[in-house]
Every structure is written in structure tokens, then in C-alpha cells.
A and B are shown apart, each in its own frame.
Chain A
């Protein structure tokens, strides 16, 4: 391969090098215990989706260019150049990975394959092989951030429509969807879709919260794409807005990676301490219910209800109990999936894979464990606080004819609230 390209790609590894990455690359014993942890390898049996294999491709480059033994005896490690063959396999195994880190959970050395693959994404982007769709989605979000005034009118008009819907649900003509309200306590950073705003607004308003919404959504396709600078810019849009509005707390919506990005990644990207408390909306809702700020009735939700831990919120975010407590507050008919919490199977829809049509077959095949779990639970309603999980599970629901209703947790809460208005139809 040509030397300029080679210098560029090995330079990416050099720039991204840190202690954890180095140790992960040095110590993996290729014991393959991770094979049974990965929903994609289990679902497809395809070697390239074995977690240790995904990481091995980066290790092969690392061995050749960053270790003496690999430089002198490359054959010992199958060390090689990041040529087209390697990059093609790397593209598949990296962008298909949902970043669930279930392999890390079971690894005897806790090797974070997703962290190694963040370097893989940087290499692919430097080689001009970043995923186009994720890149476009990231660019569109950055464009929206740079040209907010261009979209102001349509968005405000959209929020007004949602406000009407909220009033119809609460039966209270004074219910608000406050937009860019200075001095609010909470900035709710929703997803772009109305479904993410409407039930949250009902709950905030009924709880008497001093909250506001802004122009910017929480989804971060720069994170999935693997470009740290794009990812930082996308999150910075709402951090800056929160500073301008003077809020105390940022609340992220039912979206897995949004919470992880805000709570765990943004400080490292921006190199400054996070000036706000970051909460997940279900932490707030759980508090509202427990403190009596909102009322929920049991018996309004029909059927057996189960709960799926989104990987980024559960294993990688630590929010296992709040969502379960909420679901148990709205129904007595709750059954957990097996396994659950930290051992929960990834549904197969994370990491931006639902937006990448080329991985559709892998994605659906990788959902087989989730399908088995859902069938075994006997549940008819699934509560799931992650957009990507819901999209995936709804598709699995159709393909496997599970007859399941897939709900946001906040939709369940609104359905269980004794409100004067009309019950919303479940989205």
C-alpha cells in the first residue's frame, strides 16, 4: 500500500493511543470467551463478528507498527498493513458492532472491544471509508446547530402543535411546552420526533416542573460515525444552549447513547468539566412518582409487561432500577427478561446500525436472542427506553410475529396517569 496512506493510518493509532488501548492490544489471549457474549456472533456464526476478531484487526496493525517483535517477526502475530482487505473486513465488523460491551462484561480481562473499535472507526474515516449514512446524519445535525435561525420557525410551529396535543391529553388549557425559556431549572434535550417530547411534556407539566425545551436534539450520529470532533460539536449545541438559558440540570430522553455521551464522553471530548447535572428522564420520573409529584394508577395498562435494558443505559450507564421501579408502579403484572440488567442481551439495534441498510440482515439475525427472551417472558407489552432498541424490536416483532406492543416508558406512565383529557393513542 502507498506510504502516505500508511503513515496516515498508523498516525491515527498513534494519536489515539492511551494506556487502556495499549493494554487491551497487548493482553488479549484470544481465548474467545467473548464469542458467546456477542449477539451478532451468536446470531450469525460469522467469524468476523467474533469480538476478539474485530479487535484483532487493529492488533495486527499495532503489532506491525508499534511493537518490536511484530516488526521483526510479523508472521508470529499475523501482523500486517492496513490494506484494502483489512479495511474492508474492518468496515463490516466495526460499523456492525452495536457497542453494547457485553463482551467486555464476560471477558476475564474486561477488554473493551468497543473502545478498540473507536480507533477502528477513526482509521476508517481517515481512509475515506467512514460510513456514509452516519456521516451524513452527523453533518445534518451540525448544520442544524450552525444555522439554528433557519429552522426556528418550523420548529417553533412544531412545538406549538405538540403543545396542543399535550393540552388535549392533560385536559388543562394551561399546559405548556416552553421553548428556550431562560431561568428554567431543567433543559429537556429530546429527540427530534414529537413522540419524545409529548409524553415528557405531559409529565413535566403535571409534576409542576420548571422546564424548557430547545432547538437541539440529543441523538448524536457523530458518536456512531466515530468522529470525535463531529460528536463534540453535536453535543456542544445543547450544552451551549443550557449555559445560555442558565438551567441547573440537563435531562436526556429515552435514548441510550444520549445518556452515555452526556454523562461519560462529553467531558473528555470538550476537555472541560460538565457544568450541569446530567439526568436521564426516567430518573426524574421515578422521583416524581416516589415523591408523589405525579400520580399513576395501576390497572390502566393491560397485559403482562416486561422491560428491556438498553445497553447504553443499563450495563454502560448504570440505570437498572429506576426504569423497573417506574414500570412496577404502573402495573402489578411485571415479568423480567432472563437474563437481565448487566447480563441483558443486546437487542441488536444499537450503534447506529438501524440507520445502515447494508447491515439489515446481520441486524435481524442478531436479534434472535432477544426474540427468544421475549417469547420466554410471555409478555404482551414491552417497555424500552431507547429509540434504537425500539426500532429494532418493533421490526423483530413484525418478522417473528411476537404480537408485542413496544412502548416508551414515559408513554406507559402517561397512559397510567389519571388525567382529565383524552388518552393518547400509543405510538
Chain B
């Protein structure tokens, strides 16, 4: 178990960080150094002011109102997934340090309950979102549009989410944030260690597998269609050029 955790949740994370940040930097560098299209590719209606363009960029990227209008079902699932993923990301920041204010208001037990509820909701929404996408890709009349990359990403996401949910739902009451924080901060300070409490509990398998899928997903991220996470800002901005 200890070896598994050292591979997936220590050295694997270091490798992932290098590949992910290096890959994203490379991707952005490639986009930035390719000359812009000589033709203005904007469409109408088009905001006239810079502020208007910026507002439209934010609305188009974060809310996608046109997509909502044409396919509400897809929009709801996609929105639920992305908002839940953002929520999960914010929740994971507790790995670095405890949130300010919240624990003071809620107390330790209250904070654990809050984390349990918010984490469970986010984890469930993401799971539902990914299952919907898998079904939509597999059974839609346009299923031939999908390529192995699409399924690979969904598979990795499913692994991340299922194992994350497993930790949340099964071990949520056993191992708390402070223990995981001890492990994660040790990584950030380059003095990696795996706390005895993690090893003593059975959460190690879930954590290791959660991290294995996360490592693979994030290492592939910069080389996959997931770069829409940053590219969408630029391409949506072109819309009002």
C-alpha cells in the first residue's frame, strides 16, 4: 500500500505537475505565436465597446446562453458538471490550508458536516454529468462523431470521480481534511511523507486510485480537447471581433 501511494500520490503528482504545467505553457505558447487570422471572424450582434465585448466574452464562456437555448438538456448537465467541478476544486483547496472564517462559524463538527454535504452534492453531480455524456455519446444518432479520445477522457474522469466519491461517501466520516492536508502540504514543501493515519485507515486504496486517475487525466489534459478550458476564452472573444 505504501508503495502504491508513493507512486501515485507522491512521485506521480510531481511528474503530473511538470507535464501539466509544462504542457499548458507549451499549448499557450503555440497559440500565442501563431499569427492571427487575417480575416475578422466576428459575428453579430456584436458589442461596440471594449467593456461590452468583455462582458459578452464572460457570458458566452461561463453561461453559453445560445447553447442553452438550442439544447437545454445538454446545457443543464454540462452546466451542473462544470459548476460541480469548480465546487470540488474549491473544496480541494482545503488540502493547502483550512478555509478562513467558515470553521469559526460552523465549528469543527459543523465544518465536517458542511464539507460532507457540499462534497457529496458536487461528487454526485459530476458523476451524473459524466454518465450522461457517456450515454449521449454511445447512444446518440451522431455517435460516430466520437473518437477514442472522447471515451478515454470520460473513462479517466469517471475514475477520478468514482474514487473521489468513494472517499467522500465511505471514508468521509473516518479521515478528515486535516490528515489529507498533512500529506498534501508535505508535497508542496518538497518534504513528501504519507501520514501514518492515512496508512492505518483503509482509505489508501481509494486515495491512490483517485490520484492515479487524476495523474493520468491531468497529464493528458494539455494534449487533449480539454484545453477548451482556456481556449474557449480566446475563441469566444473572436466572436465579437
Contact = CB atoms under 8 A, between A and B. Distances in A.
Determine direct contact between A and B, CB below 8 Å.
Answer: yes
A146 B69 CA distance: 49
A32 B145 contact: yes
B46 A110 contact: no
Nearest to A47: B144
B156 to A, nearest CB: 12
A426 interface: no
Interface in B139-158: 140-142, 144-150, 152
Is the contact region of chain B dominated by helix, strand, or loop, or is it mixed?
A: helix
Contacts of A56: 145, 147
B66 to A, nearest CB: 5
A287 B165 CA distance: 64
Query: Which are the 5 A-B pairs with shortest beta-carbon distances?
Result: A268-B38, A318-B44, A27-B228, A27-B231, A110-B239
Contacts of A109: 228, 231-232, 235-236
Contacts of B224: 69
Contact of B232 (A67, A108, A112, A268): A108
B34 A18 contact: yes
B227 interface: yes
A373 B30 CA distance: 44
A45 interface: yes
Given A36-B70, A105-B43, A110-B235, A76 B142 contact: no
B228 A29 contact: yes
Interface string A57-83: 000000000011100000111100000
Contacts of A26: 27, 31, 225, 227, 231
Contacts of A105: 43, 66
Contacts of A276: none
A342 B69 CA distance: 13
Contact of B31 (A19, A265, A271): A19
Contacts of B69: 106, 343
Contact of B223 (A31, A32, A67, A317): A67
A18 B227 CA distance: 17
A74 to B, nearest CB: 10
B60 interface: yes
Given A20-B238, A110-B238, A75 B41 contact: no
A68 B30 CA distance: 13
Interface of B: 27, 30-32, 34-41, 43-46, 60, 64, 66-67, 69-71, 74, 78, 140-142, 144-150, 152, 223-225, 227-228, 231-232, 234-236, 238-239
Contacts of A233: none
Nearest to A103: B70
A18 B70 CA distance: 29
Contact of B45 (A106, A110, A318): A318
B235 A111 contact: yes
Contacts of A255: none
A264 B64 contact: no
A415 interface: no
Contact of B142 (A37, A50, A110): A50
Given A20-B235, A268-B39, A33 B67 contact: yes
A28 B231 CA distance: 10
A77 B147 contact: yes
Interface string A265-280: 1001001000000000
Contact of A78 (B38, B66, B67, B148): B148
12 contacts: A20-B41, A22-B34, A27-B228, A29-B228, A30-B147, A32-B140, A32-B142, A33-B71, A107-B67, A110-B236, A268-B40, A271-B38
A101 to B, nearest CB: 6
B147 A342 contact: no
A107 B235 CA distance: 10
A111 B238 CA distance: 9
Contacts of B34: 17-19, 22
B235 A76 contact: no
Given A21-B37, A32-B142, A265-B39, A78 B231 contact: no
Contacts of B31: 19, 22-23, 26
Contact of A27 (B38, B148, B227, B239): B227
Contacts of A265: 39
A342 B43 CA distance: 9
Nearest to B140: A32
B228 A101 contact: no
Contacts of A108: 60, 64, 66-67, 78, 232
A316 interface: yes
A18 B38 contact: yes
A23 B142 contact: no
Contacts of B152: 76
Interface string A284-324: 00000000000000000000000000000011111010000
Given A53-B145, A108-B232, A30 B150 contact: yes
Contacts of B148: 75-78
B63 to A, nearest CB: 9
Nearest to B223: A69
Given A106-B66, A111-B235, A35 B39 contact: no
Most central of A17, A33, A36, A343 by chain B CB within 10 Å? A33
A40 to B, nearest CB: 13
A33 B44 contact: no
Contacts of A68: 223
A104 B46 CA distance: 14
A52 interface: yes
Nearest to B231: A27
Most central of B60, B66, B224, B234 by chain A CB within 10 Å? B66
